[in-house]
Amino acid sequence: MLSYESLLEQAKSSDMPTSKMRGIMREYIQTLMLKYLYASKWQDRFHFLGGTSLRLVYGFKRFSEDLDFNIAEIDKREFERVSEFVRGELKKENIHSEVTFEHRGKLSSSKFVFKNVLEHYRIKDKRGILMVKFEANRPTFDLETG
């Protein structure tokens, strides 16, 4: 886990407002989640899209709690295994979370709740927790990587 000072440096270098520490922390965790996902055996089956991809890939100025994907050839159980894998990798960084799953039709969702992170960084927030959702859609059209 980055030190508070390193987290602030990263935020400044990305032109993020340092007054928005909760958002900075969320984006740091999202970036780690993406790093672990795209270094895994599932990397070719997750197609990153949505608001967070617009910010991280294209530099749009917005925050989002979700990581949205279209997924190929991954059923509900495997989606849960991917989420548990990411959770385990975060735990190695001393970033602990609880994860719950929801499946509705072609949509699968993992909700990661981080309880220790805000306290560790002394970030004051009335909600007291930080949450990131993995949301994955299984489209009816073919997904190609190229």
Amino acid making up residue 58: Y
pLDDT at 145: 55
Q: Is 145 inside a domain boundary?
A: no
**66 within 8 A of 29, measured Cβ to Cβ:** no
Q: Is 143 inside a domain boundary?
A: no
Which range of residues forms the domain containing residue 124? 4-137
- CA dihedral angle for residue 82, residue 88, residue 89, residue 93, rounded to 10 degrees: 150
Of 122 and 95, which is predicted with more confidence?
Answer: 95
Q: Could you read off the pLDDT of 20-67 as tens digits, one per residue? A: 888 888 889 999 999 999 999 999 998 887 777 667 676 767 667 789
Q: Is 146 inside a domain boundary?
A: no
Taking 60 as the threshold, does the pLDDT of residue 146 lie above it?
no
Q: Is 144 inside a domain boundary?
A: no
Q: Is 142 inside a domain boundary?
A: no
Provide the token pair at 134. Answer: 């993995």
Q: Is 132 inside a domain boundary?
A: yes
Amino acid making up residue 64: S
State whether residue 111 is helix, strand or coil. strand
Q: Could you read off the pLDDT of 66-105 as tens digits, one per residue? A: 898 989 888 999 999 999 999 999 999 999 999 999 999 9
Provide the β-strand partners of residue 100. Answer: 111
- Residue 67 to residue 30: CA distance in whole angstroms: 7
Q: Is 79 inside a domain boundary?
A: yes
- As a whole number, mean pLDDT of residues 121-138 equals 85
Amino acid making up residue 51: G
Report the number of distinct structural domains present in the chain. 1
Beta strand 66-71 pairing with 46-49: antiparallel
Q: Is 49 inside a domain boundary?
A: yes
Residues constituting the chain: 146
| Domain CATH number, residue 77 | 3.10.450
